[in-house]
């Protein structure tokens, strides 16, 4: 028995675990994550993640209640500090990134909520 065949089962299990985690974390349909999860990618800030998630929820709710398309009306958009922590950087930068991604998420959620 060679070293390779001795460690083959462990290597296969490690590869399968890594591959499934990577795939599950990064599958999007038209920019919207499947399964209701909001994965964190390297390089994506918490402000972007939280803003997008909140925007999707607000957009979906507005569409379902037959409200007009208006992300600025949302309280969380206006305050732009939902889940802010000073470890994320300046509040102004957080708010800018939060709002930009809120709008993107709102559009996705609104479009999906109308279907």
Closest CA to 94 of 53, 52, 58, 45: 45
Lowest mean pLDDT among 28-32, 86-90, 109-113: 28-32
Minimal CA–CA distance to 103: which of 61, 64, 51? Answer: 51
pLDDT in tens, 44-92: 799 999 999 999 999 999 999 999 999 999 999 999 999 999 998 999 9
Q: What is the longest distance spanned by two Cα atoms in the chain?
A: 69
How far is 57 from 6, CA to CA, in rounded Å? 49
Binning pLDDT at 50, 70 and 90, where does residue 34 land?
very low
> Where do the domains of the chain lie?
3-114
The confidence band for 28, taking pLDDT boundaries of 50, 70 and 90, is: very low
Mean pLDDT of 36-40: 44
């Amino acid at each position: 028995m060679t070293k390779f065949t001795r460690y083959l089962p462990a290597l296969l299990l490690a590869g399968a675990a890594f591959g499934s985690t990577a795939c599950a974390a990064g599958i999007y349909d038209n920019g919207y994550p499947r399964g209701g999860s909001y994965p964190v990618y390297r390089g994506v800030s918490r402000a972007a993640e939280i803003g997008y998630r909140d925007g999707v929820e607000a957009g979906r709710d507005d569409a379902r209640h037959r409200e007009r398309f208006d992300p600025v009306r949302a309280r969380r958009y206006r305050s732009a500090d939902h889940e802010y922590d000073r470890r994320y950087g300046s509040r102004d930068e957080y708010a800018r990134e939060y709002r930009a991604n809120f709008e993107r998420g709102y559009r996705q959620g609104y479009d999906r909520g109308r279907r």
